[in-house]
Structure 1
Protein backbone atom coordinates (compact mmCIF):
# COMPACT_ATOMS: atom_id res chain seq x y z
CA UNK A 1 0.00 0.00 0.00
CA UNK A 2 1.29 3.44 -0.87
CA UNK A 3 2.05 6.14 1.69
CA UNK A 4 -0.80 8.26 0.33
CA UNK A 5 -3.32 5.46 0.91
CA UNK A 6 -2.11 5.00 4.49
CA UNK A 7 -2.98 8.63 5.23
CA UNK A 8 -6.68 8.03 4.46
CA UNK A 9 -8.68 6.35 7.24
CA UNK A 10 -12.31 5.66 6.23
CA UNK A 11 -15.00 6.28 8.83
CA UNK A 12 -18.13 4.25 9.61
CA UNK A 13 -19.15 2.02 6.66
CA UNK A 14 -16.90 3.62 4.05
CA UNK A 15 -14.36 1.69 1.99
CA UNK A 16 -11.25 3.07 0.27
CA UNK A 17 -10.76 1.46 -3.15
CA UNK A 18 -8.18 1.86 -5.89
CA UNK A 19 -9.57 1.00 -9.31
CA UNK A 20 -7.70 -1.53 -11.43
CA UNK A 21 -6.02 0.18 -14.36
CA UNK A 22 -7.06 -0.97 -17.86
CA UNK A 23 -4.64 -2.91 -20.05
CA UNK A 24 -2.36 -0.57 -22.00
CA UNK A 25 -0.84 -3.19 -24.33
CA UNK A 26 -2.13 -6.19 -26.20
CA UNK A 27 -0.57 -9.64 -25.71
CA UNK A 28 1.63 -9.01 -28.75
CA UNK A 29 2.92 -5.69 -27.32
CA UNK A 30 0.86 -3.18 -29.31
CA UNK A 31 -0.07 -0.06 -27.33
CA UNK A 32 -3.81 0.66 -26.98
CA UNK A 33 -4.77 4.37 -27.11
CA UNK A 34 -6.43 5.75 -23.98
CA UNK A 35 -9.73 6.39 -25.75
CA UNK A 36 -9.91 2.77 -26.91
CA UNK A 37 -9.15 1.29 -23.47
CA UNK A 38 -12.11 -0.22 -21.64
CA UNK A 39 -12.85 1.20 -18.21
CA UNK A 40 -12.87 -1.58 -15.64
CA UNK A 41 -15.37 -1.71 -12.80
CA UNK A 42 -12.97 -3.64 -10.63
CA UNK A 43 -10.92 -2.42 -7.70
CA UNK A 44 -8.80 -3.43 -4.72
CA UNK A 45 -9.84 -2.57 -1.16
CA UNK A 46 -7.09 -0.56 0.57
CA UNK A 47 -8.82 0.36 3.84
CA UNK A 48 -12.18 -0.11 5.55
CA UNK A 49 -14.05 1.71 8.28
CA UNK A 50 -15.25 0.15 11.54
CA UNK A 51 -18.80 -0.31 10.29
CA UNK A 52 -22.15 1.36 10.71
CA UNK A 53 -23.54 2.02 14.18
CA UNK A 54 -27.29 1.57 14.60
CA UNK A 55 -29.54 3.70 16.82
CA UNK A 56 -29.30 0.95 19.45
CA UNK A 57 -25.51 1.28 19.51
CA UNK A 58 -24.86 -2.03 17.76
CA UNK A 59 -22.02 -2.17 15.26
CA UNK A 60 -22.73 -3.61 11.78
CA UNK A 61 -19.31 -4.57 10.31
CA UNK A 62 -18.46 -4.01 6.64
CA UNK A 63 -18.68 -6.97 4.25
CA UNK A 64 -15.20 -6.68 2.72
CA UNK A 65 -11.65 -6.73 4.06
CA UNK A 66 -8.38 -5.08 3.04
CA UNK A 67 -6.95 -6.77 -0.05
CA UNK A 68 -10.30 -8.00 -1.45
CA UNK A 69 -11.01 -7.48 -5.15
CA UNK A 70 -14.47 -5.97 -5.60
CA UNK A 71 -16.89 -5.13 -8.40
CA UNK A 72 -17.75 -1.43 -8.41
CA UNK A 73 -20.71 0.48 -9.81
CA UNK A 74 -20.08 2.38 -13.04
CA UNK A 75 -20.87 5.69 -11.35
CA UNK A 76 -20.76 6.75 -7.72
CA UNK A 77 -18.32 6.99 -4.89
CA UNK A 78 -16.26 10.00 -3.88
CA UNK A 79 -13.05 10.55 -5.82
CA UNK A 80 -9.96 11.33 -3.73
CA UNK A 81 -6.64 12.40 -5.23
CA UNK A 82 -3.45 12.57 -3.19
CA UNK A 83 -0.40 13.52 -5.21
CA UNK A 84 -0.48 11.50 -8.43
CA UNK A 85 -2.59 8.66 -7.04
CA UNK A 86 -6.37 8.43 -7.36
CA UNK A 87 -8.64 6.59 -4.94
CA UNK A 88 -12.40 6.30 -4.47
CA UNK A 89 -14.43 6.12 -1.26
CA UNK A 90 -17.58 3.98 -1.40
CA UNK A 91 -20.18 3.07 1.19
CA UNK A 92 -20.40 -0.62 1.99
CA UNK A 93 -23.87 -0.80 0.43
CA UNK A 94 -22.56 0.58 -2.90
CA UNK A 95 -20.12 -2.29 -3.49
CA UNK A 96 -21.75 -4.68 -5.99
CA UNK A 97 -19.82 -7.91 -5.32
CA UNK A 98 -16.66 -9.43 -3.95
CA UNK A 99 -14.59 -11.25 -6.60
CA UNK A 100 -13.03 -14.62 -5.79
CA UNK A 101 -9.39 -15.14 -6.82
Structure 2
Protein backbone atom coordinates (compact mmCIF):
# COMPACT_ATOMS: atom_id res chain seq x y z
CA UNK A 1 0.00 0.00 0.00
CA UNK A 2 1.04 3.59 -0.67
CA UNK A 3 1.22 5.78 2.41
CA UNK A 4 -1.46 8.50 2.23
CA UNK A 5 0.90 11.22 3.51
CA UNK A 6 3.23 10.86 0.50
CA UNK A 7 0.51 10.41 -2.11
CA UNK A 8 -0.44 13.48 -4.15
CA UNK A 9 -3.65 13.31 -6.15
CA UNK A 10 -3.79 14.47 -9.75
CA UNK A 11 -6.24 17.27 -8.89
CA UNK A 12 -3.82 18.63 -6.31
CA UNK A 13 -1.02 18.51 -8.89
CA UNK A 14 -3.15 20.37 -11.44
CA UNK A 15 -4.03 23.04 -8.88
CA UNK A 16 -0.39 23.48 -7.96
CA UNK A 17 0.70 23.70 -11.60
CA UNK A 18 -2.16 26.07 -12.40
CA UNK A 19 -1.17 28.30 -9.50
CA UNK A 20 2.43 28.38 -10.71
CA UNK A 21 1.37 29.40 -14.23
CA UNK A 22 -1.07 32.01 -12.92
CA UNK A 23 1.60 33.56 -10.72
CA UNK A 24 4.12 33.58 -13.56
CA UNK A 25 1.77 35.07 -16.16
CA UNK A 26 0.24 37.63 -13.80
CA UNK A 27 3.73 38.97 -13.07
CA UNK A 28 4.44 39.09 -16.83
CA UNK A 29 1.19 40.99 -17.46
CA UNK A 30 1.96 43.45 -14.65
CA UNK A 31 5.42 44.14 -16.07
CA UNK A 32 3.88 44.77 -19.52
CA UNK A 33 1.30 47.11 -17.97
CA UNK A 34 4.07 48.99 -16.15
CA UNK A 35 6.06 49.38 -19.36
CA UNK A 36 2.92 50.68 -21.11
CA UNK A 37 2.50 53.27 -18.35
CA UNK A 38 6.14 54.31 -18.76
CA UNK A 39 5.62 54.70 -22.51
CA UNK A 40 2.57 56.91 -22.08
CA UNK A 41 4.12 59.18 -19.45
CA UNK A 42 7.49 59.84 -21.06
CA UNK A 43 8.64 63.38 -20.22
CA UNK A 44 10.47 63.97 -23.51
CA UNK A 45 8.99 66.59 -25.85
CA UNK A 46 10.56 66.62 -29.34
CA UNK A 47 11.40 69.95 -31.00
CA UNK A 48 9.96 71.20 -34.30
CA UNK A 49 8.94 68.39 -36.69
CA UNK A 50 10.57 65.55 -34.75
CA UNK A 51 8.57 62.46 -33.76
CA UNK A 52 9.43 60.14 -30.83
CA UNK A 53 8.59 56.51 -31.60
CA UNK A 54 8.56 53.26 -29.65
CA UNK A 55 9.54 50.57 -32.16
CA UNK A 56 7.43 47.41 -32.12
CA UNK A 57 9.21 44.12 -31.57
CA UNK A 58 9.14 41.62 -34.43
CA UNK A 59 7.25 38.45 -33.53
CA UNK A 60 9.19 35.41 -34.70
CA UNK A 61 6.98 32.73 -33.20
CA UNK A 62 3.73 31.27 -34.54
CA UNK A 63 0.60 30.82 -32.43
CA UNK A 64 1.39 27.12 -32.13
CA UNK A 65 4.84 27.89 -30.68
CA UNK A 66 7.08 27.28 -33.69
CA UNK A 67 10.00 29.72 -34.02
CA UNK A 68 10.54 31.28 -37.45
CA UNK A 69 14.12 32.13 -38.50
CA UNK A 70 14.89 35.81 -39.12
CA UNK A 71 15.95 35.02 -42.70
CA UNK A 72 12.38 33.99 -43.58
CA UNK A 73 10.52 36.83 -41.87
CA UNK A 74 9.80 39.81 -44.10
CA UNK A 75 10.25 42.61 -41.61
CA UNK A 76 8.13 45.72 -41.64
CA UNK A 77 9.60 48.28 -39.31
CA UNK A 78 6.79 49.99 -37.50
CA UNK A 79 6.31 51.77 -34.24
CA UNK A 80 3.91 53.72 -32.07
CA UNK A 81 4.17 57.50 -31.89
CA UNK A 82 4.77 58.43 -28.26
CA UNK A 83 5.33 62.20 -28.61
CA UNK A 84 5.41 64.79 -31.39
CA UNK A 85 6.94 68.23 -31.76
CA UNK A 86 4.96 71.40 -32.41
CA UNK A 87 5.94 71.64 -36.08
CA UNK A 88 8.58 73.49 -38.09
CA UNK A 89 8.39 77.28 -38.51
CA UNK A 90 8.57 78.35 -42.16
CA UNK A 91 10.27 81.46 -43.58
CA UNK A 92 7.11 83.55 -43.01
CA UNK A 93 7.07 82.65 -39.31
CA UNK A 94 4.07 80.34 -39.56
CA UNK A 95 4.29 77.05 -37.70
CA UNK A 96 3.32 74.04 -39.81
CA UNK A 97 1.28 71.16 -38.42
CA UNK A 98 2.37 67.54 -38.33
CA UNK A 99 0.50 64.72 -40.08
CA UNK A 100 1.10 62.25 -37.25
CA UNK A 101 -0.23 62.40 -33.72
CA UNK A 102 0.41 60.56 -30.47
CA UNK A 103 -0.83 56.96 -30.66
CA UNK A 104 -0.47 56.56 -34.45
CA UNK A 105 1.25 53.43 -35.77
CA UNK A 106 3.79 54.49 -38.41
CA UNK A 107 6.03 52.72 -40.92
CA UNK A 108 9.72 53.40 -40.29
CA UNK A 109 12.72 53.38 -42.63
CA UNK A 110 15.14 50.49 -42.06
CA UNK A 111 17.96 52.87 -41.16
CA UNK A 112 18.16 56.27 -39.55
CA UNK A 113 16.66 57.97 -36.57
CA UNK A 114 18.34 58.79 -33.30
CA UNK A 115 18.21 56.21 -30.53
CA UNK A 116 17.15 57.43 -27.07
CA UNK A 117 17.10 55.14 -24.05
CA UNK A 118 14.84 56.21 -21.19
CA UNK A 119 14.24 53.95 -18.16
CA UNK A 120 15.73 51.01 -20.06
CA UNK A 121 13.35 51.36 -23.02
CA UNK A 122 14.71 52.31 -26.45
CA UNK A 123 12.90 55.02 -28.41
CA UNK A 124 13.67 56.38 -31.88
CA UNK A 125 13.57 60.06 -32.86
CA UNK A 126 12.79 60.79 -36.52
CA UNK A 127 11.95 63.91 -38.49
CA UNK A 128 8.38 63.55 -39.73
CA UNK A 129 9.57 63.66 -43.35
CA UNK A 130 11.60 60.44 -42.81
CA UNK A 131 8.51 58.41 -41.86
CA UNK A 132 7.20 56.23 -44.68
CA UNK A 133 3.51 56.17 -43.81
CA UNK A 134 0.76 55.75 -41.23
CA UNK A 135 -1.05 52.44 -40.70
CA UNK A 136 -4.79 53.01 -40.79
CA UNK A 137 -6.87 51.24 -38.18
Give the TM-score taking structure 2 as reference length. Answer: 0.65
**Greater Rg over alpha carbons, structure:** 2
Q: Distance in 2 between matches of 1:39 and 1:32?
A: 12
Higher mean alpha-carbon deviation, 23-32 vs 69-78, is at: 23-32
- Report the equivalent of 1:26: 62
Unaligned runs of 5+ in 2: 1-35
Higher helix share: 2
**Is the Cα–Cα contact under 8 Å of residues 21 and 40 in structure 1 kept in the other structure?**
no
TM-aligned CA distance change 1:38 to 1:82, over 3 Å: farther
Matched residue count = 100
Give the TM-score taking structure 1 as reference length. Answer: 0.85
The answer to which structure, 1 or 2, has the higher relative contact order (CA under 8 A, 6+ apart) is 1
* 1:78 aligned residue (93, 114, 119): 114
Higher strand share: 1
Q: Does 1:3 align with 2:29?
A: no
Give the superposition deviation at 1:55. 1.7
Unaligned runs of 5+ in 1: none
TM-aligned CA distance change 1:68 to 1:22, over 3 Å: same
- Report the equivalent of 2:129: 93
- Report the equivalent of 2:88: 52
Give the superposition deviation at 1:83. 2.7
* 1:42 aligned residue (69, 78, 84): 78
- Report the equivalent of 2:49: 13
Runs of 4+ aligned structure 1 residues displaced above 4 Å come to 35-39
**Is the Cα–Cα contact under 8 Å of residues 20 and 40 in structure 1 kept in the other structure?**
no
Give the alignment's Cα RMSD to 1 decimal. Answer: 1.9
